[in-house]
A and B are shown apart, each in its own frame.
Chain A
Amino acid sequence: DTGVSQDPRHKITKRGQNVTFRCDPISEHNRLYWYRQTLGQGPEFLTYFQNEAQLEKSRLLSDRFSAERPKGSFSTLEIQRTEQGDSAMYLCASSSGGSHYGYTFGSGTRLTVV
């Protein structure tokens, strides 16, 4: 197991286009989280899955954002009609449940909207 994988590493898109990111968690982890991080700031929670169920969504997740985790394995995060304010690093993390564990993070997808 090579950890949490995110694809692509970098994405440059024009304003108004749709983009989709993928996250492959550690295989035995049933919990998956998406965070957004802007330069010089801490990660901000977006949404969380336990298996295939989306259990929590942040108010930051506008109607243009949607996330899925079919079959409880990999997850996708889609942003429709991108805006310049969407430019950020999108981080995925997974955990095996049990509140005393921290997360394992992926390397992130850097989105630049031009």
Chain B
Amino acid sequence: AQTVTQSQPEMSVQEAETVTLSCTYDTSESDYYLFWYKQPPSRQMILVIRQEAYKQQNATENRFSVNFQKAAKSFSLKISDSQLGDAAMYFCAYRSEDWSGANSKLTFGKGITLSVRP
């Protein structure tokens, strides 16, 4: 079974600075997808960024980028120019590559609470 580990329960960053959130995972599969989700206090989960395991290039979405190390099974999220609105829980998630849909569920880590200091 796949597992996702987020070992840092909380992090804090100064507004406009850069912060990196760590995530490791365990799987025996070679093809899969990784995601970072944001959950603000309103509780609705929002997709931040995704990475396909077969792609060597790290995904980037505006101020958000990932450092995907497949051999190390590491998938960290970097937030540049942090803003007050970035304060939330962030979850790392794993999904198998399964076109049939039989194994398409997301497996989440425990999450990390990010606070942004003004």
Contacts and interface: CB of A to CB of B under 8 A. Distances in A.
A91 B61 CA distance: 25
B43 A108 contact: yes
B33 A99 contact: yes
Contacts, number: 68
Given A41-B111, A42-B109, A102 B47 contact: yes
Interface residues of B, number: 31
Nearest to A105: B45
Interface residues of A, number: 27
B97 interface: yes
Interface of B: 4, 6, 33, 35, 37, 42-47, 50, 52, 91, 93, 95-99, 101-111
Interface of A: 31, 33, 40-45, 48, 50, 55-56, 89, 91, 93, 95, 97-100, 102-108
